[in-house]
Each structure stands twice: as structure tokens, then as C-alpha cells.
């Protein structure tokens, strides 16, 4: 299809303003009628019952004039698997008046709409509720599943649309609110949230998030936790046995913050703390404001995977400060953040490492792009054809970052850095669409510096599938040498032990492994493993690239290590490739299913869902090739 035709098609289907974006297809909220502006939580954690119970008070900003309202206005909220016990309106004196409500039958993807009859547009509505033990946004761990086995553990993961499984609210990134919380927990349990901690009062721990944030940044964690400072305004939280290693691994956090502040303006959130979660945490990191959540798999011992921390920190500007208004615009969060992450890595660890990391990511993108639909290859896909999380592929991250690298190269760093800083200022604490970003880009960068970039090129980056020809990569000398060595090895002219792998850093290993065939020969796999002990690597990113190849090559001696890996690590990006490799043969599938059946209770609900999808698909098409 010609670009112009494609753009015409896109223009029909895409929201072009914040008002239209208010119609989020993944939420029942009606933000054009009423918006939540503050959330007040009073919660109690019940570990034996695996429930959170309490009240949420929503402070409302009614947009519709009272006169236009039908006799009874409605407040439409998102919920999933919640038990609603009571809904009431509060007047200024705090007197409660019961409101009637209906909880609709659940939609598999969206959950249940909670429709509250709200005559007279009350400013405060209080809901008493409890969560289900199976809440999709929470994981409850027994003490045996933690590192120190001292106390049970709870953590949330709200992005993309799981906040609704632990708080009834308007679960759309288009709506922002401040929040306060009081959480009751048993003695010895420390509670953390995406907020600043207030002094505890007895068994009640208090929190305050004064900045307006979108609902997917609501977060809570609780367990036996220790804190270690990494600078005046940063600290690491983890189980006591892990906190020292974590603080060492993330000791550059203050340097990362200063770098980002120099580039893009002050950090606006007060503290930046990090929480290391148990290994079942389903992501690498999550940018919960003031309390980034991290997988323990980034603690490699040599800081080789700390770009995840740079990434989550970068979200303090791109994502948490300037937020994509819908899930279709998520590249505004993840693409900008991946770009900023790489700038932080360059400033703190040097240009070689930054270039290596980007070239590795670009290689993964090119590879994955082949299996994506045309729509998914767009930075801004046509919405509604994709689920809330489906826009979150390498396209949003790496193609998004690549687009900004293209702009940086054309306008030069001085101009582009200043532009980006102004962009963060201009849209601070707002949720915006791709089109709002483009209007600003056109007026403040492209038109101000004529002759550097054609607007057509910008539209091609944002709306067309694939990668434009203007997508260039830095030359990395070490990688060129690795390509030569790999080719010689695959040709049989260089033995595995003669590869100069002893000189390679982690990123160079990742690059070597990424460009091996998906299914090397058994002889190649055995030779590489004998020389370099790859199946036993303690670096999780190496395992994710090696183990699936060993399985596909038919090396059953790698199965126990692969099994241990996939049962130990719940981070979906790492564990799913191992399941997929096992699922590519009937014997492997049976082996993976047995392992999964025995341990499924230890996985996060999202990881469980994703693994089950892989296993089901393998049964549906038994002889599917990898």
C-alpha cells in the first residue's frame, strides 16, 4: 500500500485529540463525563485469605453540567473479580448516603463494569470492596517461595489493565489522580507503594502520592523487607539476604539520575527507590513512581544488566511525567524511554556499551518483526485490532527509540536534547496521544529547522509497517569481529574453544548468541557448551538465548538446566522462550507440561496465562516448527 493511502486509512481510525482518546477501548470509564482526581485508600492485607479488603474513596471532577445530566448520573468504573460490598456518597461533613449500583457480567478481557447511580454529582464516592485470591494484578507468595522464608510476600503489577483487579477505578491512562493510602498489615510486614512513605501509626502504614498519576502506576508490595541507601534520595529495598548485593549492583543510580536531570530537567518525584522482587516477578522492571519494581534476574553480579534500571528511571520523564493517553500510544512511553535509557547508559558506562546494547536490541527487533502483522509493525497501530498488551512489542520499544535516534542524527544533539527537554516540560503530568506529540514535534522541531527532515519521513516512521531506510545503526567494531568468528565456527573452520569468547563482555556474548541459527546442529551446541559452559551461565539473558537453542538442537542434556531455569524465573520475556522451545517437539512438550503442572502455583497469574497459551498452541499444531 502507498504511504498516503495508508495514512488516509489510519486517519479514520485514530484518535486525533485528547478528548477522543478519552474513549479508551480497554476501559469502561467515561472521562468526558467525570474524572477521578484523587484516590484515598484504606486497606487491610489478609495473607492467609489472600485478599485485600477495605475502602476506596474517589474524589470526582464532574465534567457534565448538572443541567445536562439525566435524572440520575452514572459513574462507570472498571473492576475485575472484585466483590463490592457497599457504595456510598459522602457529603462535606462526611455523612454517608448509600448509592445503588450494578456490577455487570464480566468481559474476559475488560472485567466487569461497575455502574454507580450518582444523583446530584457527589464529589466523593466511597466503595467498600475486597479482592479475589486470584486477582490478575496481584501475586501472593507463601513464605517458602521467598528468598529468606521469613514471611509471606505480596506484590502488584497493574500495567496494563490490572489495577482494576485490586482497586475499583477509572482504569485508563487518560485519567490522572493523586492518591493517599493507609494499609494495615501484620507485624514484621513492610508495605511499600508507588508513593512517598509516611510515618507508620501502629499497624497502619501510610503513603502519599501528591502528583497526578495514571492508574497503571498504582502499586503495592509487602513482605519482610530491608532498606539500604544508595544515595541521599535513592535506596534499594529487598529481602534482607539480598539487599547488599542489590545495593552494589545498583550503586550507579545517583549518577544515572544526575545525567538524566542534566539532559531533561529536574527529577520531579522526590525520592527514587527500587524494590527487588522475588523471581516470579513477570517483568524486568516496572516504573512505579518513587518505587521501581525490579526482577532479581538483573542482579548479575557485574552490573551487566543494569540498563533495566536506567530504563525504569528514564520513565520518570517519559511515561510517568508525559504519559501515553491510550495503550495504542504506548510507544510514547516505551520508545522514548528506550532512547533515554540508552543516553543514560552512554553517559554512565560509555558509548561502546550503549551502542552494543542498541545494536543487540535492533537485531532482536528485525528478527521479531518478521512474525508481526503489518499493523503490529506500526509505532502507532490502528487500535482495537490489538489487545491492551499487544502494542507492547519490540516495535514500541526499539523502533520507537530508533525513530528518536533518527531525529537526533538529523537535528544534532544540541538541538534535539533541548527539544526533548522542552517536550517533557510542556506536557508534564499530562496524558497525550501520538498525534499531540506529532503536532508539537512539527511546530517546535521540524518546522523550526527546515531542510533537515521531510514530514513524510516522520509519518513513515510513525504510521508505516517495517523499518524505513533512514534506520541506520552505529558500527561496533567488536561485533564485526564476532560476526567473523561466528561464521568461521559455523563453517567448521574454527573450533568452539578457539573462539575469543574469554574477551567478550555480556553484550558481546548476547550478540554472538542472537545470531546463531535458531536450531544449531547438535554437534555445534555440544561443542559450544563444552568450551563455554553456557547452559550453566548464571546470567539470565545468556540463558534465555542459549537454552532454547540447545533444546531445538536436540541436546537433551540441557533439559534439566532448562527446567531449573524456567521454574526459577517467572519473568515472561526470559521463561517463555524456553517453554516455546520445549513445545516444538512432542517429547519436549510433555516434559515442559509435567514441570509446569508441578509448579504452576508458584508463577504469577500473568505468567501462568502466557505459559498456558504456549502449551495450548503447541497441542493445537503439534508439528509446528519453531
Examine residue 383 and tell whether it contacts ligand BES (CB under 6 A): no
- CB-wise, 121 or 234, nearer to ligand BES? 234
Q: From CA 17, how far away is CA 218, in angstroms rounded?
A: 25
Site mask for Zn ion (CB under 5 A), range 337-366, x = bound: x-----------------------------
Query: Beta strands of 33-170 (E only): which ranges?
Result: 34-46, 51-62, 74-79, 83-90, 96-98, 101-103, 112-117, 124-130, 138-141, 153-156
Between the alpha carbon of residue 233 and those of residues 219, 298, 427, the distances in Å are 20, 22, 25
Residue 567's binding partner among Zn ion, ligand BES, none (Cβ under 5 to 8 angstroms by kind) is none
Taking the complex as a whole, the smallest distance from the CB of residue 157 to Zn ion amounts, in Å, to 13
Taking the complex as a whole, the smallest distance from the CB of residue 514 to ligand BES amounts, in Å, to 16
Taking the complex as a whole, the smallest distance from the CB of residue 539 to ligand BES amounts, in Å, to 15
Taking the CB of residue 278, how many other CB atoms lie within 10 A of it? 22
Examine residue 160 and tell whether it contacts ligand BES (CB under 6 A): yes
- Which of 38, 41, 45, 429 is closest to 198 using CA atoms? 41
Residue 323's binding partner among ligand BES, Zn ion, none (Cβ under 5 to 8 angstroms by kind) is none
| Residues assigned a catalytic role | 312, 397
Taking the complex as a whole, the smallest distance from the CB of residue 394 to Zn ion amounts, in Å, to 12
Q: Minimal CB distance to ligand BES: which residue?
A: 284
**Helix or strand holding residue 527 (H, E):** helix 522-532
Examine residue 355 and tell whether it contacts ligand BES (CB under 6 A): no
Taking the complex as a whole, the smallest distance from the CB of residue 589 to ligand BES amounts, in Å, to 26
Maximum Cα interatomic distance, the chain, rounded to a whole number of Å = 83
Residue 568's binding partner among ligand BES, Zn ion, none (Cβ under 5 to 8 angstroms by kind) is none
- CB-wise, 101 or 216, nearer to ligand BES? 216
- Which of 260, 285, 407, 228 is closest to 344 using CA atoms? 260
- Pinpoint the alpha helices (H) of 118-250: 243-249
Site mask for ligand BES (CB under 6 A), range 301-320, x = bound: -------x--xx--x-----
Query: Whose grid coordinates read 527529577?
Result: 267
- Which of 35, 318, 319 is closest to 175 using CA atoms? 35
What does the block give as the cell for 41? 485508600
- Considering only residues 388 through 417, tell me which ones interact with ligand BES, judged by CB under 6 A: 389, 392, 397
Taking the CB of residue 602, how many other CB atoms lie within 10 A of it? 19
- Considering only residues 435 through 494, tell me which ones interact with ligand BES, judged by CB under 6 A: none
- Considering only residues 282 through 341, tell me which ones interact with Zn ion, judged by CB under 5 A: 334, 337
- Considering only residues 279 through 298, tell me which ones interact with ligand BES, judged by CB under 6 A: 283-287
Q: How many residues bind ligand BES (CB under 6 A)?
A: 16
Query: Whose grid coordinates read 523550526?
Result: 448
- CB-wise, 59 or 334, nearer to Zn ion? 334
What does the block give as the cell for 198? 509516611
- Which of 351, 279, 352, 345 is closest to 312 using CA atoms? 345
Taking the complex as a whole, the smallest distance from the CB of residue 392 to Zn ion amounts, in Å, to 9
Q: From CA 126, how far away is CA 295, in angstroms rounded?
A: 35
Residues at the site binding ligand BES, with contacts judged by CB under 6 A: 159-160, 283-287, 308, 311-312, 315, 334, 389, 392, 397, 573
Residues at the site binding Zn ion, with contacts judged by CB under 5 A: 334, 337
Amino acid at each position: 500500500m502507498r504511504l498516503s493511502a495508508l495514512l488516509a486509512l489510519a486517519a479514520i481510525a485514530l484518535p486525533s485529540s485528547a478528548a477522543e482518546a478519552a474513549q479508551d477501548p480497554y476501559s469502561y470509564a467515561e472521562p468526558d463525563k467525570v474524572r477521578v482526581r484523587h484516590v484515598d485508600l484504606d486497606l487491610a492485607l489478609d495473607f492467609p485469605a489472600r485478599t485485600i479488603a477495605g475502602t476506596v474513596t474517589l474524589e470526582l471532577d464532574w465534567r457534565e453540567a448538572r443541567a445536562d445530566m439525566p435524572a440520575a448520573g452514572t459513574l462507570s468504573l472498571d473492576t475485575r473479580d472484585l466483590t463490592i460490598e457497599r457504595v456510598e456518597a459522602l457529603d462535606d461533613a462526611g455523612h454517608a448516603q448509600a448509592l445503588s449500583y450494578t456490577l455487570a457480567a464480566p468481559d474476559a478481557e475488560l472485567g466487569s463494569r461497575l455502574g454507580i447511580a450518582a444523583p446530584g454529582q457527589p464529589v466523593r464516592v466511597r466503595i467498600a470492596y475486597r479482592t479475589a485470591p486470584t486477582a490478575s494484578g496481584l501475586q501472593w507468595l507463601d513464605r517458602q517461595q521467598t528468598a529468606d522464608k521469613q514471611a509471606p510476600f505480596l506484590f502488584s503489577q497493574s500495567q496494563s489493565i490490572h489495577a482494576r483487579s485490586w482497586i475499583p477505578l477509572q482504569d485508563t491512562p487518560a485519567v490522572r489522580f493523586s492518591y493517599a493510602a493507609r494499609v494495615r498489615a501484620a507485624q514484621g510486614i513492610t508495605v511499600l507503594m508507588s508513593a512517598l512513605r509516611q510515618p507508620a501509626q501502629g499497624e497502619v502504614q501510610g503513603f502519599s502520592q501528591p502528583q497526578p498519576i495514571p492508574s497503571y502506576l498504582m502499586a503495592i508490595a509487602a513482605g519482610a523487607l530491608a532498606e539500604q541507601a544508595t544515595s541521599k534520595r535513592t535506596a534499594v529495598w529487598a529481602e534482607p539476604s539480598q539487599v547488599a548485593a542489590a545495593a552494589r549492583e545498583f550503586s550507579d543510580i545517583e549518577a544515572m539520575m544526575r545525567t538524566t536531570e542534566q539532559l531533561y530537567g529536574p527529577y520531579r518525584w522526590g525520592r527514587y527507590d527500587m524494590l527487588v522482587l522475588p523471581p516470579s516477578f513477570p517483568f524486568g522492571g516496572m516504573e512505579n513512581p518513587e518505587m521501581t519494581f525490579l526482577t532479581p534476574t538483573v542482579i548479575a553480579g557485574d552490573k551487566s544488566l543494569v540498563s533495566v534500571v536506567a530504563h525504569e528511571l528514564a520513565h520518570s520523564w517519559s511515561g510517568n511525567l508525559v504519559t501515553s493517553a491510550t495503550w495504542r500510544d504506548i510507544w510514547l512511553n516505551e520508545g522514548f524511554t528506550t532512547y533515554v535509557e540508552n543516553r543514560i547508559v552512554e553517559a554512565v558506562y560509555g558509548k561502546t556499551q550503549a551502542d552494543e546494547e542498541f545494536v543487540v536490541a535492533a537485531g532482536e527487533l528485525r528478527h521479531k518483526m518478521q512474525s508481526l502483522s503489518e499493523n503490529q509493525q506500526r509505532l502507532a497501530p490502528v487500535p482495537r485490532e490489538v489487545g491492551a498488551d499487544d502494542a507492547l512489542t519490540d516495535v514500541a520499544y526499539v523502533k520507537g527509540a530508533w525513530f528518536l535516534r533518527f531525529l537526533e542524527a538529523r537535528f544534532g544533539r544540541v538541538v534535539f536534547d533541548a527539544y526533548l527537554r522542552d517536550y517533557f516540560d510542556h506536557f508534564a503530568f499530562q496524558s497525550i496521544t501520538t498525534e499531540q506529540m506529532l503536532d508539537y514535534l512539527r511546530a517546535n522541531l521540524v518546522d523550526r529547522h527546515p531542510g533537515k527532515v521531510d514530514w513524510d519521513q516522520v509519518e513513515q516512521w510513525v504510521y508505516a509497517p517495517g523499518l524505513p531506510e533512514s534506520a541506520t545503526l552505529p558500527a561496533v567494531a567488536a561485533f564485526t569481529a564476532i560476526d567473523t568468528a561466528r561464521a568461521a565456527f559455523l563453517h567448521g573452520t574454527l573450533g568452539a574453544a578457539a573462539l575469543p569468547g574469554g574477551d567478550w563482555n555480556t553484550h558481546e556474548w548476547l550478540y554472538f548468541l542472537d545470531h546463531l541459527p535458531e536450531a544449531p546442529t547438535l554437534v555445534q551446541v555440544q561443542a559450544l557448551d563444552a568450551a563455554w559452559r553456557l547452559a550453566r551461565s548464571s546470567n539470565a539473558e545468556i540463558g534465555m538465548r542459549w537454552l532454547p537453542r540447545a533444546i531445538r538442537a536436540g541436546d537433551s542434556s540441557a533439559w534439566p538446566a532448562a527446567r531449573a531455569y524456567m521454574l526459577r524465573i517467572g519473568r515472561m520475556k526470559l521463561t517463555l522462550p524456553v517453554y516455546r522451545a520445549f513445545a516444538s517437539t512432542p517429547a519436549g512438550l510433555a516434559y515442559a507440561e509435567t514441570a509446569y503442572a508441578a509448579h504452576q502455583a508458584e508463577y504469577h497469574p500473568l505468567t501462568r496465562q502466557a505459559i498456558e497459551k504456549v502449551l495450548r498452541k503447541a497441542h493445537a499444531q503439534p508439528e509446528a516448527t519453531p
